Amino acid sequence: MCNKLENIVVIGQGAIGLLWYHHLSQASIKSIINANVSLLASNQSQLSSNQLKSAQYQFTAYQHEKNNVYPITYTKTDDIKKANIIMLCVKSYHIASALQSIAKYVDPECKVVLAHNGMGTAEEVMKILPSTQPILAMLTTHGSLRITSLKIEHTGLGHSDIGLLAGELSGKQQRQLSKQLNKALPTVTLHKSIIEKQWLKLAINCVINPITAINDIDNGAVNDDKYSAQINRLLTEIAVISQKENININLTTLQKMVTKVARATAKNCSSMRCDVLAGKSTEIDYINGYIHRLGQQYDIATPENTRLWQQVQNLNSSLN
């Protein structure tokens, strides 16, 4: 079983979950990949058998105006038991609970892929699954906009990076997995060390997400001079903490990356700002909150990251 990738379960019907479900299921229908693909949604237990059978979602392809309607194949318990790949495309604070609800059915050789913002969930997952369970991180720069609960638009072409975080998986098995995903939604790049990529994305998220959420601005406005001192303080703290984690991040490189990403996504509303505006919980605990906790662990002050972590928490509590 360990070399087969015939059964794929995507967990989460948010923007990224539906994006991956769409591309994987369409690749399966077109025989680009040889796999059964199903979607596990948090609300499916509340659906009647007729609703489960007739469920549909709307998808607008990149640079297309017209959306098309596609059927949803919802995941059954048997699909989880047979799964060779489980992709967790839910918010970081839902990863552990989503996995706990199905853990007893997950095959010990199933590849568990974590696709979310922030860091710190891998430690939670390792407490739920066997120590040898292959756990991978996937980072994506694809733009996907959730318009309504089952209507999304692919707003920007990007790429995905994937790599092993824990457990056992041979080089051949890792390449096979990335090849399968690459056929569905290119480009997917396999990394021997995904943690460095995670830290770079974390640093960008630590700047753009809270600043846009607190100030209610589009991503591009982060490049305004009035935020530059604050950004430097945030990134300096992150660079110091990353070195304690044996990750060597150059401050100048980080500054250039933040400027570049803010410019490239200038008109976008960050996920954290969208969550705050919608009165939803944010992933701040796994972004600036992650830096705060590591700072405590190493007895290093992270005043700017801690302040933004607390400010976004307060934004959440004032809206709820």
Positions annotated as catalytic residues are 201
Q: What values do phi and psi take at 9, rounded to 5?
A: -115, 125
Q: Where are the alpha helices (DSSP H) in 91-142?
A: 95-100, 121-128
Determine which helix (DSSP H) or strand (DSSP E) holds 181, and give its type and residue range.
helix 171-184
Residues 6+ apart with CB under 8 A from 59: 18, 22, 67, 68, 70, 151, 152, 153, 154
Separation CA 101–CA 19 (nearest Å): 23
Closest CA to 20 of 187, 189, 188, 185: 185
From the list 291, 299, 114, the residue with the least C-alpha distance to 210 is: 291
Q: How many CA atoms lie within 13 A of 96 on its CB side?
A: 12
Strand-strand pairing, 85-88 and 7-11? parallel
What is the Cα 76 distance to its own chain's centre? Answer: 23
Residues 179 and 187: their CA atoms lie apart, in Å, by 10
The answer to whether 43 and 119 have CB atoms below 8 angstroms apart is: no
Planar angle of CA 142, 35, 194, nearest 5 degrees: 40
Rg (CA), the chain: 19
- Alpha-carbon span 216 to 220, nearest angstrom: 12
